[in-house]
Amino acid sequence: MSNFELNSELLLGKSFQKLEINSFFEAMKYVKNLPYGRNSNREDFVLVLTENKGTCSSKHALLKSLADENSQFEFKLMLGIFKMNGINTPKVKETLNKFGIEYIPEAHNYLKINSIIYDCTTEISSEINFLPDLLEEMEINPEDVSTKKVEIHQNFLKNWCEKNSFKLEEIWGIREQCISDLGSKK
């Protein structure tokens, strides 16, 4: 992947320049080191910078938008569904064990550049955490992370629940607890 200088005359470039970030590599590193947490508005990716936190969706949508703003269209925003379990996501192990569930299919966003995966969700995130458990993958647009991602995920879960005799509402509730676990300090 080739690094590039950010255009500080454009919207996102200005936002990063205020943080003294001038290149895409610097932006990726900065975003990756921000804490995991949901933003107050799923559709406003700049909140990652102002609220100093973000999810896989908001962080990668911001980075993809930054790449697009700088005409770097080889950067792809990916949506993968993977088997979230206590091994690849240790913070959810206790919750999954409590409900006697081995894994929950989870939707995860990341960047793909020339077939190489970049996961900037947390400072310890890596494709090796989810790639072996990847069930499905597709390219999406940044604006898709607020509603389309949820629809795709829920449709996948609905089918999975039917095959495994679970109720979608119950699994979604357990999944929400898992997401809360990811933002905790434990």
Domain boundary among 69, 89, 113: 69
* pLDDT tens digits for range 56-104: 999 999 999 999 999 999 999 999 999 999 999 899 999 999 999 999 9
Do residues 97 and 143 share a domain? yes
Q: How does DSSP classify residue 106?
A: E
Domain boundary among 69, 97, 117: 69
Percent of all residues in the chain with a pLDDT value above 70, rounded to a whole number = 98
pLDDT of the residue at 185: 65
Indicate if the pLDDT at residue 117 is higher than 60.
yes
pLDDT of the residue at 6: 96
pLDDT of the residue at 179: 86
The string over 163-175, giving b where at least 16 C-beta atoms fall within 10 Å of a residue's C-beta and e elsewhere, is eeebeeeebbebb
Indicate if the pLDDT at residue 2 is higher than 60.
yes
pLDDT of the residue at 1: 57
Q: At 72, is the secondary structure helix, strand, or coil? A: coil
Do residues 85 and 108 share a domain? yes
Do residues 48 and 83 share a domain? no
* pLDDT tens digits for range 15-55: 999 999 999 999 999 999 999 998 999 899 999 999 999 99
Number of domains in the chain: 2
**Containing domain of residue 18, as a range?**
11-69
Do residues 126 and 155 share a domain? yes
Residue 3 lies inside a defined structural domain of this protein: no
Residue 6 lies inside a defined structural domain of this protein: no
pLDDT of the residue at 186: 57
Do residues 84 and 162 share a domain? yes
Helices 148-164 & 168-182, crossing angle to 10 degrees?
120
Please choose, from the candidates 68, 155, 33, 180, the residue with its C-alpha nearest in 3D space to the C-alpha of residue 105.
155
